[in-house]
Amino acid sequence: MNLKSIVVLLTAVAAPAVAGPLGYAICQTGCNSLAVACYGAAGFTMGVALPAVPAVLVSCNVGLGTCMAACAVVALSPTL
- The string of DSSP letters for the chain reads --HHHHHHHHHHHPPPEE-HHHHHHHHHHHHHHHHHHHHHHTT--TT---SS--HHHHHHHHHHHHHHHHHHHHHHSEE-
Structural domain total, the chain: 1
| 31-74 pLDDT tens trace | 999 999 999 999 999 888 888 889 999 999 999 999 999 888 87
Q: Indicate the pLDDT class of residue 80, thresholds 50, 70 and 90.
A: low
Which pTM does this prediction carry? 0.68
Domain around 70: 17-79
